[in-house]
Amino acid sequence: MPSFFIDVGGPGGPPLHRLSLINFCLAHLSSSAAIQISSLCRHYQMGRSTIRAVDGVSLKIGSGEFVALLGASGSGKSSLLNLIAGLDSPTSGSVVVADRDLAALSREELAVYRRHTVGMVFQSFNLIPSMTVLENVELPLRFAEVERSRRGAMAAKALEQVGLSGRLRHRPIELSGGEQQRVALARALINQPNLLLADEPTGNLDSRTGTEVMELIRRLNESLKMTVVLVTHERDLAEKYAERLISLADGKIVADQPNPARAMARGES
């Protein structure tokens, strides 16, 4: 298997290496819409009342786009992200990713989708504390049934890309928050997904470490044209990194607009 990463480097952060862009583009960027959401609803029944976490959302996210889902707590942004991740099933409507309607997939098919198409990072990192850093990153490879002999090298290389090659045998608890999030990022990318879903990735980090992590995500998006969906309640963060800002309230999209600041920054670069 060819190496996934090439070194694209970047100022102020750890060097980032990614796989041949040509292969990646051929494999994953043929479709213009990475995600197509139509009339998506996710309702929960709480006693007699119905919670409308996601309520009739329709949305199209293009391949390689960096989108931020903004909103206050309880606005439905994480619920929408979970539906895109295939962790949750919609009450109605559809989420089509790579021409597959997630609502029509079985539980096993959804697992395969999460394994190969999606990479996720969370606010609370969600690393398994009993495993070393290397083992945490290796974990998705176990489920993907990658040969044992190759897993260690692949995980070590992914950790090297996020600047953690010296921490392979450490446990998550022995790392700083920023380092833990970088481990989570390496884990999310180890199976070469074409969609990165980040749920408040800087929520538990100080501003400097948060910036480091966001720079890493931005470089992934730019270098690989990897589609990134970022959930955040920090408007400044969203405006700094996302190309498009989608605001939610009460499970509905209340605003969907391009980010002029980011477009300007791209234009300058």
Partner 1 sequence: MKLYDSVELAARNLRESLLRNSLTTLGISVGVASLVAMLSLGIGLQQLFSRKLQRSLFDTVVVSSRRDLRSFTREQDTEGPAAAESPDLDENARAKIAAVPGVLEAYPDLRFIAELRFEDKPHLTMIAGLPLLDKNSDAFQGMQGKFFSTENAHEVILQKMFAAELLGKHVRNPDEIKVAEVAQPLLSKQMVLRYAEREAGGAAADSASYSVISRELILTIVGVTDLDPDSTRGNFRARLFIPQKLMEGMHAMQAYESPDSTHATSKEAIYSFVVARVNGAGKVESVEQAIKKLGFNTFSILDASHSLQRAFRIVDIFLGIFGSLALTVASIGIINTLVMAILERRREIGIMKAVGASDADVRGLFFAEAGAMGVLGGVLGVIIGWLIGRAINFGTNIYLVRQGFSREDIWAVPFWLIAAALAFSFIVSLISGLYPASRAAKLDPVQALRYE
- In the structure encoding, which two tokens stand for residue 11, read together? 């100022």
**Shortest reach from residue 165's CB to partner 1, in Å:** 21
Closest to partner 1 by CB, 196 or 245: 196
* Long-range own/partner contacts, residues 143-152 (CB < 8 A, 24 or more apart): 143/111, 143/115, 144/115, 144/116, 144/191, 150/1
Closest to partner 1 by CB, 107 or 208: 107
* Long-range own/partner contacts, residues 50-57 (CB < 8 A, 24 or more apart): 52/76, 52/250, 52/251, 53/79, 53/251, 54/79, 54/80, 54/83, 54/90, 54/251, 55/250, 55/251, 55/252, 56/93, 56/251, 56/252, 57/93, 57/248, 57/251, 57/252, 57/253
**Shortest reach from residue 258's CB to partner 1, in Å:** 30
Closest to partner 1 by CB, 142 or 266: 142
Closest to partner 1 by CB, 38 or 126: 126
**Helix/strand number for the chain, H first, E second:** 9, 12
Closest to partner 1 by CB, 100 or 116: 116
> Which residues form the interface with partner 1 (CB under 8 A)?
82, 85, 87-88, 107-108, 111-112, 114-116, 120, 122, 126-128, 130-131, 139-140, 142-145, 148, 187-188, 191
**Shortest reach from residue 136's CB to partner 1, in Å:** 9
Beta strands in 160-243 (DSSP E): 195-199, 227-232
**Shortest reach from residue 128's CB to partner 1, in Å:** 5
Closest to partner 1 by CB, 38 or 89: 89
**Shortest reach from residue 262's CB to partner 1, in Å:** 28
Strands 92-97 and 33-46 turn out to be: antiparallel
**Shortest reach from residue 145's CB to partner 1, in Å:** 6
